[in-house]
Amino acid sequence: MTARIGLALSGGGFRATAFGLGALRALHDRDVLDKVSVVSGISGGSLLTALWAYGPRRFQEFDDTVTALLRGGLQNELVRRAFAPHAALRSTFSAMRALSTRQGRSYSRTDALVEALAARPFGAVPMAEVTHAGLDTIISATDMRTGNAVRFGSALSASSPYGRIVDEVRVAEAVAASAAFPVLLPALHRHYAFERTDGTRHEDTLVMTDGGVYDNLGLTPLLPGRSPQHSPHVYNLDYIIAVDAGRGRGARTASRFLTGRLAQSFDITHTRSQDAARNRIHLVGERAEITGFIHVYLGMQDQRLPTPVADLVPRSAVHAYPTNFAAMTQSDLQALALRGEQLTRTLITAYTPDLGW
């Protein structure tokens, strides 16, 4: 019987994309990647999810595509698109209209991100058109109106307060909603037709921000014990692989000013939320609710690895890399990806040796 494997790719901007690329290289080499039945992505992890699930079939072509995107970056293109005369005019008019009518913005910098992603082959396709047969995808955002997750998927897209999204959703739209980090990008407004479980249909507007606000690890839809009565995304998995680009805990210098205090308060709350999700997956493993799991954690302390790794890229070399979408240097990309690859290989061998060769 073929093992059912779930893969979660966390948020964290290009740091998460590059670290996740290394993990996928290791999974590919171990002949595990092609056996993954569902992949869940958040923010930078949603970008990697989309590039793999909707990009080239051959792994080397996929790898080259991701590498080129990381090296080229998205931020400069986003600025060019957002501040082009026609886009700036649309954004200004939309903001003024929203202030005067209290309606949502019809165009913003996040729509420029949608356009940038849609200009690439993987972003232009509908969510249903996955490159790899038998693979389910989940790309998550957060609805600001209800505080619930919005899960765009290859099988279906839905949010529990609204129901199933009837309209076709493009990959670029799902990734942009998932990656709309609140400090830098406005929420993405989209009007959809929905169908409730009783078959009734209605229309409503989602106001979507970064999926990491709700669940930065992307683990929630993969965990055992979920009820199909409350969520359309329920998966019966044997293994879960969590690729987590979190930086880990470190000493902080307490801020003396309001903006700094607010940022630190958000960071502490966000970290505690992620720690709870990490604890949940470890409890799942301890209780044998699944056959096995590995937690590939960028921020883990090097001395806690189950076995030493020769020439390990140390945590200190990568954990402080920012969570933006700026062009990466070759050395930063190589360090982040190599650490992801090294940790994945080591943890599979130590904890799930029956996966792959």
pLDDT one-digit tens code per residue, 107-162: 688 999 999 999 999 999 999 999 999 999 999 999 999 999 999 999 999 999 99
Q: What is the mean pLDDT of residues 222-249?
A: 88
- When the pLDDT of each residue in the chain is averaged and rounded to a whole number, the result is 89
For residue 248, is pLDDT > 90?
no
- The CA-based angle 130-134-138, given to 5 degrees, is 55
For residue 302, is pLDDT > 90?
yes
What are the distances in angstroms from CA 188 to CA 82, 147, 176, 178? 14, 14, 8, 9
Query: What does the pLDDT read at residue 34?
Result: 94
SS (H, E, C) 237-271: CCEEEEEECCCCCCCCCCCCCHHHHHHHHHHHHHH
For residue 251, is pLDDT > 60?
no
For residue 59, is pLDDT > 70?
yes
The amino acid present at 345, given as its one-letter code, is R
Q: What is the mean pLDDT of residues 258-271?
A: 70
Query: What does the pLDDT read at residue 357?
Result: 60
Q: Kind and range of the H or E element at 5? A: strand 5-9
pTM, 2 dp: 0.91
Q: Which residue has the higher pLDDT, 106 or 77?
A: 77
Distance CA 326, CA 283 (A): 36
Distance CA 256, CA 73 (A): 34
State the number of CA atoms in the 13 A half-sphere of 150 facing the CB.
Answer: 31
Alpha-helical regions (H) of 83-227: 85-101, 109-118, 171-178, 212-215
